Structure formats: structure tokens, C-alpha cells
Amino acid sequence: MERKIRNLTKYALIEDIGSGDVTTEATVPTDSRAAAIILAKQDMVLAGLEVCQEVFQFLDPAIEFTSFVRDGDRIRTGTEIALLSGNTRALLMGERVALNLLQHMSGIATQTARYVEKIEGLKAEVLDTRKTHPGLRELEKYAVRIGGGKNHRFGLYDGILIKDNHIKVAGSITKAIEGVRKKSHLLLKIEVETKTLDEVQEALATKPDIIMLDNMQVDMMREAVFLIHRQALVEASGNVTLETIRTIAETGVDFISCGSITHSTAAVDISMKLK
Amino acid sequence: MERKIRNLTKYALIEDIGSGDVTTEATVPTDSRAAAIILAKQDMVLAGLEVCQEVFQFLDPAIEFTSFVRDGDRIRTGTEIALLSGNTRALLMGERVALNLLQHMSGIATQTARYVEKIEGLKAEVLDTRKTHPGLRELEKYAVRIGGGKNHRFGLYDGILIKDNHIKVAGSITKAIEGVRKKSHLLLKIEVETKTLDEVQEALATKPDIIMLDNMQVDMMREAVFLIHRQALVEASGNVTLETIRTIAETGVDFISCGSITHSTAAVDISMKLK
Amino acid sequence: MERKIRNLTKYALIEDIGSGDVTTEATVPTDSRAAAIILAKQDMVLAGLEVCQEVFQFLDPAIEFTSFVRDGDRIRTGTEIALLSGNTRALLMGERVALNLLQHMSGIATQTARYVEKIEGLKAEVLDTRKTHPGLRELEKYAVRIGGGKNHRFGLYDGILIKDNHIKVAGSITKAIEGVRKKSHLLLKIEVETKTLDEVQEALATKPDIIMLDNMQVDMMREAVFLIHRQALVEASGNVTLETIRTIAETGVDFISCGSITHSTAAVDISMKLK
Amino acid sequence: MERKIRNLTKYALIEDIGSGDVTTEATVPTDSRAAAIILAKQDMVLAGLEVCQEVFQFLDPAIEFTSFVRDGDRIRTGTEIALLSGNTRALLMGERVALNLLQHMSGIATQTARYVEKIEGLKAEVLDTRKTHPGLRELEKYAVRIGGGKNHRFGLYDGILIKDNHIKVAGSITKAIEGVRKKSHLLLKIEVETKTLDEVQEALATKPDIIMLDNMQVDMMREAVFLIHRQALVEASGNVTLETIRTIAETGVDFISCGSITHSTAAVDISMKLK
Amino acid sequence: MERKIRNLTKYALIEDIGSGDVTTEATVPTDSRAAAIILAKQDMVLAGLEVCQEVFQFLDPAIEFTSFVRDGDRIRTGTEIALLSGNTRALLMGERVALNLLQHMSGIATQTARYVEKIEGLKAEVLDTRKTHPGLRELEKYAVRIGGGKNHRFGLYDGILIKDNHIKVAGSITKAIEGVRKKSHLLLKIEVETKTLDEVQEALATKPDIIMLDNMQVDMMREAVFLIHRQALVEASGNVTLETIRTIAETGVDFISCGSITHSTAAVDISMKLK
Amino acid sequence: MERKIRNLTKYALIEDIGSGDVTTEATVPTDSRAAAIILAKQDMVLAGLEVCQEVFQFLDPAIEFTSFVRDGDRIRTGTEIALLSGNTRALLMGERVALNLLQHMSGIATQTARYVEKIEGLKAEVLDTRKTHPGLRELEKYAVRIGGGKNHRFGLYDGILIKDNHIKVAGSITKAIEGVRKKSHLLLKIEVETKTLDEVQEALATKPDIIMLDNMQVDMMREAVFLIHRQALVEASGNVTLETIRTIAETGVDFISCGSITHSTAAVDISMKLK
């Protein structure tokens, strides 16, 4: 992951700084030094310390970064997250990008943790989706893990998920699975999307590794889980909210995927102050 | 903007598709053709049609893309946004990235429009900030404009905003402004952040183009506007919500900046269906 | 795959042409046009037509490329593979890179086909490995498929293969598998390497998807297959040659992986002549 | 050469590791440390130590790499080539790419050395060609030098070689050479390809620096060498094998070029073991 | 600026060194060490030390670089500018690129300083333009500042300058300014080009920040300055030479822009000698 | 050369346009169309039409570009060079970059032609050097050829020039040449720099292809030419001006190299007007 963090960091800094920080370069001497505190301004599950540190050290490898907490810690408003010291220009020029990432990732971890808590004690795990912000998928999926969720595939390249459109074009679930068995490489599992109990039956016959129940009512989900009877893993998908997730989990599914933990989560409030 | 859209599109597709879409390549023939509809599943202000089209045409320039609405239109749930036809693989491989961008940008435009409506009839304009998702700033600022907001600077390179930290390091507002006047180029304006009425007074003496009132109470803002008395433009910043924005606008400020319209907005619901 | 082909093509052309083809630019007018034939000079299984065409059309999109055979065809010496016509400079500047790729890929497909023939009628399939030429893996794995082989994972990112070193560091096969089950995403299978029957027993208990028999004697392999008894797929690896492969296949393994089909295969002879 | 090594190393690691080594990251702790030995498993002329070291140190600059032999050494099976110590993840993630390069380059050096030995005592030198694996040319040409061969030009940009196709388009050898003399820069020599003694005569009149005898029978070569009579250097090309090279060299040519030492050489066997 | 310097340095070294310095690699041992002096061979205002140092340290970070003067110093012929010591190959391979940059930048600083001296005691400042060498703009604008000039905008992205063509397309100055006021972001000033006194009048009514007087005779300029009467800043542009600049400055304009200080300045003479 | 032109064009446009042309985007509608004339405003030898066209067509491939003259033509002030028509935004956004390149290249061609004229009727040819603007070398060397000059090597990679520093490190001219003969590839010539007649003698004994006379007085040059007596080509270098070049040429040297034609040439005056 380090290389991707480094590339993203670089790109984000170029986006923000471009040809230079005209304000800082005109008001802060090249060799000025300072210390700064990064501070939580609300309760949260923290995620993103490594990329936050990388932003500043990309600008100046000599910046010292001491963190007082760790990714995954549940911290309260007022918690000092990290102390930075070093070149003042680098501190000021990295501030916005570092906070944008830290606030966004911690927002995702915090929201994921809320979902995970709701289904405590049940077998089901919270899964993420590919509904991420372009360019940020790896960081967002990391934040989901930090919040207690489990990752679904990272992209179209490292997992097979046969959806309704694939089935429609292939002709049937059986034909789609045959194609996939023939062309894919040795180490990929196969998941199939179903919308009705008939489709669940048809899918079962092809022995997929996982069956997805897409947008089913809770009653139908329960029947599907009964039908599948551990011959495949089961993923519930669609209309998952903090209100509905426990009921869904109680149907006995293995996984519940949830797009909003990545595409619609509010940033948490974190600030940086020069000391 | 086209080059950046193209770069982002490419990067987002690489992130999602990587070494290939193993499912689609195994179930959909190379030369299969299909049509698809992009559909609004909630009310929204639409933004992002161009980048949505670019995603598909990056994968296959021969895909036909016909849109029935335009960026900025307020559309109702059920509205058909666009019709695509062409290579089925390209349609399926581009779907997720295209929707991720369109849902995110329309989410921002929709939320911005809500803020703009709240202050209808008043002079103030809604401004965005640099609190954006790394890599997506230009698209997000475009969505803000589509929603009726006005852009603040795009980055540290194309605008001068002297904040408390700069003033602290420079020694005083006056010294900070002197530095900036000497080193910056001909065509950049100067904005200064203030937190108290004393700072507003001090700033005024240096004749900045814009004075920012940072996290002031509404009463103090009103006094600040009175003090400034049109000698500079005035921007209010901090704790702006749908509940507070009208009261802030009524103090007579020229601009109200709002981070949450870019960093904490929910994606709107949009889907794509093969016909 | 198209993007990677395009990137590789570009890189290979830069490597060969650099600041320009000093000979061609000095002897061939800019607007000279010609036709050329690509010709098989030995029997082979052809692979690589698409990338061959891409090389010339990268230099000049207007070059016409008509192929008379297809990837996977078994062709005889003297067969005309393709007819090109267009800008003479582009034809001459692309020739070496295009042939280098076509000869290498066809060499791999041809050699793979020899292995596949040796085990005709048996269940086992020929697998490739990660022993490829840096930068050419995707093309080489494509050539293996064209020759009738099956692909193992494409890299460390899209498949889990627990080797002796991982087990050593993790402490035991059980601990290694536990770690992998917890951290990997939903859609990846798990393969474990074993060197003895004891290790096969231990691995079996952890229910991996695939068990690799590494460098085992044929007798031991046969016993391992008996022990595993279809509870996992079985891959034989190590010391596979055209002489030994049938005996290995007869042990009942599902897959036989073979590094030499990618890392030690001779290029086949193909030439290009201006008409 | 260092920059190219670094670029290639980076590219090869990205190709293999992609979004991460899912097995190693799940079984080996971030801070685990280990030592490993790289071991020759057959006799060989070693080539590629520098790029092998670079692969590991690209992943972690803190890895210590101590080699016990040097590029160009003839080593026996069982020889310890190098000792590595450092972060275990980096050792395991770099292993395959490092060995792929070392085995391939040593394979080329070993095969080149066989050709060079065959013509010991004669004036002729073994030359490589542009028949290389795309992306690996510089490393392959380096390995040829290590094996005792001499390099021909590195690409179309740094040497002039007028082939039959150029002559055909230019109209005659004389016209082709005139064009080249006029347009090429000061420091490039000129080589002309000939297929018959008439062409050798015609070429001689234009005073090229080198004359290539392409696919000539040995008798014709001998006559050509007599005709040329040291007025130009002479390169023999085509159908060069370990069986034929000495006879060719005895004709008195200065250089013998040989495509198979780069495009068709088997990798030598080298392994890495954690201690 | 550091990132751009680094990118440019890298690109310039690749352009010059390409696949390697064949002369140095064949005559200088890998581990040879030497010291070298960089020497002024004419009087000049020095500019470019940082990029000069970067060139050598890009090739070898261990090279020691001690400068005896600073950017902006007026130095005499014979002055020792810097002492380098370290790897001999790196010194020889970096020499030409380092000197090309240092000579070019110092040439610009020296010429700018001549213009600035000519208008000593007057209010006007010397401005640069966008008439720069592609790829070198940032370095050239830096050299202008070092020579005592002031920068105009860095590109089309960070400043608004409405020229005759924009006005023609928009319909009128008023319409052009309205468009710009609506679409541009908060922190950009607006400059308008005028060619006649009527245009100056028309421009004034739209309250731009700066009015450019393009190619006006000195008398007309004087009248324009009178008309504008400090309601906007005034820039004179066109036909500025060392002979005419003082007369232009005496009209009372605030800025005088001059393309030749970047696009037509001679390199100053600087050499490097191994000690 | 086309790829380099395209890369440079892209880079130069990014440098100038960055995140967008704020003025043009606010004053010119997206679909506005216009025609423009590129006009010579002084006498010149024209060079750079292709790259000029590329700039505009990079921004919009649909722009029509009709040129009325060709590279190498001597044109008078007032000559219409080219007519463009197409999207107005693309015309205005490409104008500055296109003219910067065309003016610079034509400046070099024009100045080179002046040097070439000075030595009309004599054998000597005008050579360029590596004293070019970083990033622009290929275009500058092209402009030299257009002006009637001949190119020296393009970089350190495609030609061998042994300078005093190499000789000093190698120990002697003989040793330096031996090293070079052993390591360099087949198709590179060898040039040696000399400063005295003794060095010329020493160099001659090693049979280089070219001997450079560095900074010699004209009398010494004449003697050197006599000594060399056609056993090698002869290049004069150092202190070449329009005043001295004919005298130097009359010594009988083959080539005269001249840094100022690339590093110190004034841009010629060319403008673009919307019709």
C-alpha cells in the first residue's frame, strides 16, 4: 500500500500547491521552524495516521511526527492526535491535504464502526463495495477495515461477481459460470447475484462460492439462507441502513454490504494548530 | 478542464479495472452490443454528465451517449438522464466509475443548491473551500458552481489568503501583507483572516481586497461589516449550516464559505440498467 | 488488456527508436508508401497478432493490417501471417519491435502446446507461473492460454499462495491460514504449498482450496492425491519437462505448473519483407 | 544505466505486486526481520547482481545485500551468490522479480560465453542484435558484455545500418549512403548490409565504415572478406549457431552477430532461501 | 518550486545523457573522485545556484557543493562561483546541463538588472511576460525577480488579462468584464488591454484592477495615465528597449513589461574545470 | 521526432494553461469559431511550422492549419505564414505557446543562416553544440539544420567526444581511446579534443575519426590542419563569431562549432491575429 499512498499524496499535494503556496512563500522564511498539534474536535474512530504523516514528510522528510494514538482507537473530542515539528512552510503547506485525508478516512471508520456495533453478537460481517471516491478506494477500504468491516473485492480485476447484466448477456447463470470457470485463473472465487428464490435455486446448482441476495425483502432473505443451507456463503446487499442492518443480520446471512459507509459519510472534525 | 477530466477518468478506470474485468471478459463476447439507461432514483440537481460520458468513451470512443437533461437541471426521481449504446463490455466496465462520479457530483450540486436557496434575496453568495476529496477538487468545485455557489481559490497557487499562522510567523498583519505585496505577482488579490474586531481594524489599515471573519458570532460579524464599510469585501467562515446560513447572510457579508458542501455530502442515487 | 498492450508497445518503441531512426529518416522520404508481408519461417502456434498490429498502428494509425490467420492457429513454415500497407517509415521503424513480440509470444504458445499434447486425455491442465520476463507477464500469460495452458495468478495481488517461507514466519500452516482468512478479501481462494505427506495432512485440516505438491517424487505425489481425496484441488510443481509431464499427470493431480514455458522458451522464426 | 535499472525495477515490482502481496501481508508481521541466501543451482556465468540488489532495496533501502561473487564470475552449482538481511516482507515480495532478472541475465551471459569460447584464438568478436525482449534491452546487452560479447547499436537512434529495404526505397546503395551522409550527425559510423558479392563491390565504392554480410554461405563470406581487404570492417550475420560459429570466424570477418543469445536463451537456475 | 526544479533537472539530464555517457563510462572508473570549480568568465548578476546544485546532486546525492556567492550577487569575471567535490562521473555528466541552466538564468538576471537600472528613481517596475522558453518559465521568472524585476502572471490559470481578441469575441469591454466577474474565483484581479484613449475610457468605466496600454506612443501613454488618474494600476507594453524604457517610465505608468528579457537574452559565460 | 514534439507541446501547454485559461473561458463561448493569421513581423528563415501546428491541434484536432510557406524559406516582414480556423478558445489558448516555439526556432534558423553565409564557398560546415535550452534540444538542432548548419551529437549517449577532463582522468589520450574502443558499441565514431599541437600529434597516433581544435589561435589551427593532413576530420571550436568565422574556415578545418546559435539567439518577431 505504501507506493499508492505515496502516489496519492504526491498527486493531492500537486493539486493543492500547484506552482507554489504564494501566501506562505511570501510570509514565512525558508528556514523558519515550528511545532503543531493535530487535535480531534469530535468523538471518532481514528483512521489515516500513516497517510497524514506521509503528506508532511513528502514535503520535508525531516519533519518529526509523533502520534499519541493509533488507527482504530476510539478517541474523544479534545484528544491530541499527533505532534509535528519541523520546517514551518512544510507544516503550513501540508496542513489542508493532510487534514482532508485524515478527516475523510476517520469519518469512514467511525461510520463503519456504528454499523458493526449494530450487529454485535451475530455472525454477519459488514462489507464495503466499489462505491468509493475515484482515486481513494484503497484508503477507503483500509478505513473500513479499521472500523471493523471486511473488504469485498478491490476492483474488477481481483474477484468474480456475476451480476444480472452478465447473466442476461451470457444467456443463463449456468452459462455465465461455465465461461468464468474456463477463463479465470486458479485462485479466484466466484460470486453470483440473485434477486429471487428461483435464481437462488438456479445459482446453487452451479456451486458458486458465494451467493449475493440483491435488494430482497427480509423474509425472502431468510428463505434464501434456508435454501442455501451453507452450500455457499451468503451476502445481503441493498437498502442497508443503521435502522435495518440488525434485522438483515438476523436472517443468518454471512455478509452485509453497504455502499453508504464509503460514498456518503461525513468528514469528522480535526484541526491543526501551530504552537 | 478537459485534460484533468481525462486524467482522472483514466486513473479511476485503472483503479477499478486494473489488469482486467475478469467477470465481464469471461461472460460477455468481445463484440457484444447493448443499450443502457442512466436513471435518477431521487430528486436532485444534476452535475457531471460530461465526465460520465468521458468514462464510457475512454473505454470505447464509439459508444453513443445521448443525454436528455443538462448539468444544473433540477430533476425528479425516475427521470431518464442518458441513453448509452455500444460495446457491452465497455458499458459494464465503465458503469461503476461513471456512476460513482455522477452520484458524487450531483450530491454536491444538490446540497449547494439547498444552501443557495436559504439565502435567496440577500446579497451574500455561497463559497466553497479547499476541504475537498484529494484528486477530485476541480470536479467538486465545478459541481458547486452548478449548484449555484461561487468558487474560492482552487489551490495555494492562485490566491493569497493570509491566515493566523502566517500572521504569527510574519509578526503582524502589516508585515505579512508587506511580504505578500512584494513577492506575489501582479494579478492576485489579497485576503486576510481575522478573528476579532481589533484584527479587523488592523487588517483594514493594510487595504486588503477581502477580509475573512473566521468563526465569529453573528453579532460580532454585524459589527465587523459595519467597521469595514465596503472598503473591502467580507467573507464569513465557520459553523455554517442550513440552519444558520440565513442569519449569517443577514449581517451583510458578501460571501459565506462552507466546507461541508464538498467534504460531507451524501451521494445521490442514480442507477444504470441494460435495456 | 488493451491499455497494457498500448503502454508496452509505446515503451518498446521508445526503447528501440529513442530520438529517431537515423537510417530510415535519411533514406526514406516522409511520404513514401509500401506494402509488406509477415511470414512464418517455421511451424508454430501463432500468438501475438493484436500487439503486432498495435506496434505499427501506434507509429501510424493509418497503416492497414490484414491478417490471414488467427492467434491459436497451428501454421506451417511459409505461411503468410499478415499483409501491411502504409507509410514506409512506420513499417521499417516498427518491424523489429513487432517481430520481437510476435516471435516471443508464438514461441511460448508453441512450447505450451507441446506440453499440453503430452498429457492429452488426462484430467490435468498445464499451468504457468510467475517466472516471466519483467514487463511482459500479461502477454506471456496470454500466449500460454493460446497454447492451451491455464493461468495461475497474475501477481501477488490477485491470489493467495502460502509458501514454506510464509509458514515458517507465521509459525505453522494453521496460523498462516488463519491470518489469511482474516485479512484477505471475500473473493480470493487459498492455496498452500507442501513438501511432505505430513504437510499435506496438516494442510488438509485447514481446508484450503488448493494444495501444491512442491518438488515431490511421483510416488509421493500419488499418495498425496490419494490422501487429499478431492477435498482440495491439487497442483504439482517442480522439475516438469516434456519427458516427465505425462507421468506426473498420471498421478491424478489437477494442475501441473511449469516455469520453463515462459522463462526459457526459444523465439520462433518470423520475418517481414517489403513487397 | 542506473536510472533505467531503477525504472525497470519499479515497473517489474508494480507488475508483480500490484495492489499488494495479500499472502505476505496476512502472514508476516510488518516488522519481521530475516536473512536469506541466493544460491546457484547450476554452473553459470553470473550477471545481474546490481539489478538484483536494486529490486530488494527499492522495496526497502535498509536491506543489507552482501555478494560473495561478481558479475562475470564463472560459478559452480551450489555457490552462495549473496546474503540478504532485513525486513522479511521486502525479502519475500522482491524474491520472484529479483530471481527472474538474475536468472535471465545470467542465462544470456552463460550462453554468450559459450559462443565466445568457440572462437577463441580468432580475431572475430561475438556481437548481439536488436532481437531482445521489449523493455529489457539494456540489461540484455549488459549481460552479453559480461559474457564476453560486444554490443552492436542499442537502437535505431545511435547507429546507422542501411538494410536492403532502405536501399530499395532509396534507389541504390550510393543514394542511400548519400542521404545518410547528409542528414546524420557527426559522430555516427555507417554500416551497409549486403547479400551478394556484387553488392559488396557496390558498397565498397561508397566507403562505409562497416559492411555486413547477410546470410551468406561461408565460401562467399571468404571471398567478400578478400574483396573488402580491410577497407571496411566486416560483420557476418545469419544462421549462427554453436556448431557454425567457428567456421564463420575462420573466414576472417571482424564480427559475428547472433540473435539467439538474447531472444532464445534459457534462464539458469537460481534460488533464494530464508535462513 | 523544488518539485518543478527536480522534474526539469531530471528531464534535462535524460535529454542529454539518454542511455548513458559513452565517453565518460569508458574513460573514468566508477569510483573515481575529483573536485571542480565553477567560474564566472564575464561580469554578471548570478541566478540559478540552486538548480545548478540540484543537477549534480540528482546524479549523485553525495556530491558536495559549496557556493561562494549567492543568487542576486553582482560578480566580476574570474569570480569562483562554487566548488564541487565527489564522484568524477557525476561531475562530468552533469556539467553541461548545469552550466546551460546557470548561464541562461544568469543571462536573464543580468539583462533584467540593466533594464531596472535604467529606470532607477522612478516609480515604474519592470515586468516579465509569458514570452518564455517552453518548460523553463518558472526558472526564467525566478531569474527576472533576482534581476530586480517583478512577475506578471505565471500562466493563463492564475490571472485574468482581457485582450483585444477576448473583447472582440465578447462584444465589448463591458461584456467581457461581466463574464469574467461572474465566472472567475474570488481572489483574481482583472486586467484589460487597451490600444486607444477611447478604449482606456471605456475600460475605466468597468473598474478593472489594471489597465494595459498596448503599443501606445509615449504621448498617448502620458494622456492615458492622466485619464486613469490612479483609479487603476497602469502597465505599459510593447517596443520596450534599453533605449526607450526610461522615457516610458517617465509617463507615470506603474509597470513596464518586456518580453526580450526572457525570450531574447544571451547566455553569460560560465565554465567548470576539474582541479 | 513526432513523439518528442507531442510531449513537449503537451508539457508547454500544461505549463501555460494549468488548471484553465480563466480569461478565455469567461469571455469566449465553448462553441465559438474563428480564423486567425500568423504573420512575420521581420525578415527571417522560418523554422517550426510543424510544432506550431501541433500546439493548436493538440488543443483541438479539428483546427485547420494551412501554411503558405515552408520551414527553411527566407521570408520577408509582412509575409502571411499560416491561416488557422476552428474553435476560438483553442486558438486563443494555444497562441502564446505556439508563437514562443515558432519565434525561438526561427530565431535559431535565421542566426545559423547568417553564419553559413559568412563561409560560403569554403569547405567548412557550421556545427551546433550541446549548449541548448534544457528540454528544447531536438527542436533547436532541427532549427540549426533548417538554417543550413550540421548537427553534432544529440547527447552524451550517441557520440564519443574525449575532452581534456577525460584524458586527465584516464592518464593519456592513448589510454582514453583504448578504453573507449573496448567499451563502446560498433557504430560510434571517436572524436578527441586538443588544445596544443603536441596534443594534436599525440591524438593523431591513436587514429581518431575526428580531432577537435579547442580555442586555438587561427595560426595554430592552420598548422594543426597541416599536421593532420586528412588522416582525421577537423573541428574548430571556441570564440566563433560572425566576425571571426570566415578566417577560421579559411584554415581548412572541416567543421566549425558555435554555441551561440542555440544558447544566445534572439527570438524573431511573429504575431497572430484573429480575423
Per residue in A59-85, pLDDT tens?
999 999 999 999 999 999 999 999 999
Catalytic residues of C: 96, 131, 163, 193, 214
Residues recorded for chain B = 275
Residue E5 above 90 pLDDT? no
Rounded Cα–Cα distance for residues F128 and F106 (Å): 15
- Torsion on CA atoms D171, D173, D178, D184, rounded to nearest 10: 110
Q: pLDDT digits over B47-56, tens only?
A: 999 999 999 9
Rounded Cα–Cα distance for residues F131 and B95 (Å): 52
Chain C: residue nearest A188 by CA?
Answer: C188
Rounded Cα–Cα distance for residues C60 and E116 (Å): 51
Residue F26 above 60 pLDDT? yes
Question: What count of CB pairs under 8 Å joins C to D?
Answer: 214
The class (CATH top level) of A2-116+266-274 is: alpha beta
Partner B, chain A 196-235, Cβ-Cβ below 8 Å: none
User: Sorting pLDDT into bands at 50, 70 and 90, what band is E19?
Assistant: confident
User: Sorting pLDDT into bands at 50, 70 and 90, what band is D275?
Assistant: confident
Is the Cβ of C185 closer than 8 Å to some Cβ of chain B? Answer: no
Residue F257 above 90 pLDDT? yes
Rounded Cα–Cα distance for residues A47 and C94 (Å): 50
One-letter amino acid at A227 equals L
Is the Cβ of C18 closer than 8 Å to some Cβ of chain E? Answer: yes
Q: Are strands A190-194 and A160-162 parallel, antiparallel or unpaired?
A: parallel
* pLDDT recorded at residue A7: 85
A19: distance to nearest CA of chain F, Å?
9
Is the Cβ of D158 closer than 8 Å to some Cβ of chain E? Answer: yes
Q: How far is CA E111 from CA C77, D29, E140, E188, F106, in A?
A: 70, 61, 12, 30, 22
Q: F153 contacts in D (CB within 8 Å)?
A: 185-187
B270: distance to nearest CA of chain E, Å?
29
**Between chains, do B186 and E210 touch, taking CB under 8 Å as contact?**
yes
> Collapsing DSSP states into helix, strand and coil, what is residue A165?
helix
B89: distance to nearest CA of chain C, Å?
13
Q: F179 contacts in E (CB within 8 Å)?
A: 26-27
Is the Cβ of A18 closer than 8 Å to some Cβ of chain B? Answer: yes
Report the pLDDT averaged over residues F177-205. 93
Is the Cβ of C70 closer than 8 Å to some Cβ of chain B? Answer: no
Residue with the three cell numbers 508481408: C37
Chain D: residue nearest F182 by CA?
Answer: D150
Report the pLDDT averaged over residues D159-188. 92
Which string of DSSP letters, residue by residue, matches E159-204? -EEE-HHHHHHHSSHHHHHHHHHHHS-TTB-EEEEESSHHHHHHHH
Catalytic residues of A: 96, 131, 163, 193, 214
Q: E19 contacts in C (CB within 8 Å)?
A: 18
ipTM of the complex: 0.95
Active-site residue, selected from the candidate residues F16, F21, F125, F214: F214
DSSP C266: P
Looking at beta carbons, which pairs linking A59-66 to residues 24 or more positions away fall under 8 Å?
A: A59/A13, A59/A87, A59/A90, A59/A93, A59/A94, A60/A86, A60/A87, A60/A90, A62/A86, A62/A87, A63/A87, A63/A90, A63/A91
Angle (deg, nearest 10), helices A49-59 and A88-118: 170
Residue F183 above 90 pLDDT? no
Q: pLDDT digits over B11-46, tens only?
A: 999 999 988 899 999 999 999 999 999 999 999 999
The secondary structure element, H or E, covering residue F106 is: helix F88-118
Report the pLDDT averaged over residues D208-227. 97
Active-site residue, selected from the candidate residues D33, D80, D96, D114: D96
Rounded Cα–Cα distance for residues E19 and E40 (Å): 31
Whether F90 contacts F76, CB under 8 Å: no
What is the C-alpha R_g of chain B?
23
Report the pLDDT averaged over residues F55-78. 96
Name the residue among C154, C187, C209 with its Cβ closest to that of A185: C154
Rounded Cα–Cα distance for residues D91 and D32 (Å): 10
User: Sorting pLDDT into bands at 50, 70 and 90, what band is C239?
Assistant: confident
Extents of the domains making up chain D: 2-116+266-274, 119-263
Whether D98 contacts D261, CB under 8 Å: no
pLDDT < 50 positions in chain A: none
Q: How far is CA D42 from CA D45, D46, D76, D80, D97, in A?
A: 10, 11, 6, 11, 19
Question: Which chains have at least 3 CB atom pairs separated by less than 8 Å from chain D?
Answer: A, B, C, E, F
Residue D189 above 60 pLDDT? yes
* pLDDT recorded at residue F1: 53
Angle subtended at Cα D214 by Cα D211 and Cα D215, rounded to the nearest 5 degrees: 150
Closest CA to F100 of F274, F268, F260: F268
Chain C: residue nearest D172 by CA?
Answer: C27
F145: distance to nearest CA of chain D, Å?
9
C59: distance to nearest CA of chain F, Å?
9
> Collapsing DSSP states into helix, strand and coil, what is residue E15?
helix
Q: A159 contacts in C (CB within 8 Å)?
A: 185-188
DSSP strands (E only) in F103-257: 125-127, 160-162, 190-194, 210-214, 233-237, 255-257
Is the Cβ of F71 closer than 8 Å to some Cβ of chain D? Answer: no
Rounded Cα–Cα distance for residues F158 and F141 (Å): 14
Q: F150 contacts in D (CB within 8 Å)?
A: 185-186
User: Sorting pLDDT into bands at 50, 70 and 90, what band is F147?
Assistant: very high
Residues recorded for chain F = 275
Closest CA to B135 of B275, B268, B5: B5
**Between chains, do A161 and B23 touch, taking CB under 8 Å as contact?**
yes
pLDDT < 50 positions in chain B: none
Catalytic residues of B: 96, 131, 163, 193, 214
Question: Which chains have at least 3 CB atom pairs separated by less than 8 Å from chain A?
Answer: B, C, D, E, F
* pLDDT recorded at residue A2: 67
Whether E63 contacts E3, CB under 8 Å: no
Name the residue among E16, E160, E265 with its Cβ closest to that of F156: E16
Residue with the three cell numbers 502472514: D27
Report the pLDDT averaged over residues C120-124. 97
* pLDDT recorded at residue B1: 53
* pLDDT recorded at residue F145: 95
Chain B: residue nearest C154 by CA?
Answer: B19
Rounded Cα–Cα distance for residues D9 and D17 (Å): 12
Q: Report CA F123 to chain centroid distance, whole Å.
A: 21
Q: B254 contacts in E (CB within 8 Å)?
A: none
C-alpha cell at C236: 504439482
Name the residue among A28, A166, A175 with its Cβ closest to that of B23: A166
* pLDDT recorded at residue B7: 85
Is the Cβ of C171 closer than 8 Å to some Cβ of chain F? Answer: no
Rounded Cα–Cα distance for residues B94 and A165 (Å): 13
SS3 labels along chain D: CHHHHHHHHHHHHHHHHCCCCHHHHHHCCCCCEEEEEEEECCCEECCCHHHHHHHHHHHCCCCEEEECCCCCCEECCCCEEEEEEEEHHHHHHHHHHHHHHHHHHHHHHHHHHHHHHHCCCCCCEEECCCCCCCCCHHHHHHHHHHCCCECCCCCCCCCEEECHHHHHHHCCHHHHHHHHHHHCCCCECEEEEECCHHHHHHHHHCCCCEEEEECCCHHHHHHHHHHHCCCCEEEEECCCCCCCHHHHHCCCCCEEECCHHHHCCCCCCEEEEEC
Q: A20 contacts in E (CB within 8 Å)?
A: 1
Q: C18 contacts in E (CB within 8 Å)?
A: 18-19
**Between chains, do B158 and F14 touch, taking CB under 8 Å as contact?**
no
E138: distance to nearest CA of chain F, Å?
9
F256 CB contacts (<8 Å, ≥6 apart)? F119, F124, F125, F126, F127, F235, F236, F237, F240, F245, F248, F249
* pLDDT recorded at residue E2: 67
Is the Cβ of F130 closer than 8 Å to some Cβ of chain D? Answer: no
C-alpha cell at C43: 511451424
**Between chains, do A187 and C255 touch, taking CB under 8 Å as contact?**
no
* pLDDT recorded at residue D266: 96
* pLDDT recorded at residue A205: 95
Q: A185 contacts in C (CB within 8 Å)?
A: 150-154, 158-159
Q: What is the pTM of this model?
A: 0.89
Closest CA to F163 of F124, F120, F130, F127: F130
Name the residue among F11, F100, F137 with its Cβ closest to that of E131: F100
SS3 labels along C7-51: HHHHHHHHHHHCCCCHHHHHHCCCCCEEEEEEEECCCEECCCHHH
> Collapsing DSSP states into helix, strand and coil, what is residue F154?
coil
Name the residue among F145, F187, F210 with its Cβ closest to that of D153: F187
A230 CB contacts (<8 Å, ≥6 apart)? none
Rounded Cα–Cα distance for residues B179 and A28 (Å): 9
Q: pLDDT digits over C183-194, tens only?
A: 889 899 999 999
Phi, psi (degrees; rounded to nearest 5) at D128: -90, -175
**Between chains, do F134 and E135 touch, taking CB under 8 Å as contact?**
yes
**Between chains, do F158 and C19 touch, taking CB under 8 Å as contact?**
yes
C-alpha cell at E260: 526580450
- The CATH code for residues A119-263 is 3.20.20.70
- The residue of F3, F11, F14, F23 whose CB has the most chain E CBs within 10 angstroms, and thus the best one to mutate to test that interface, is F23
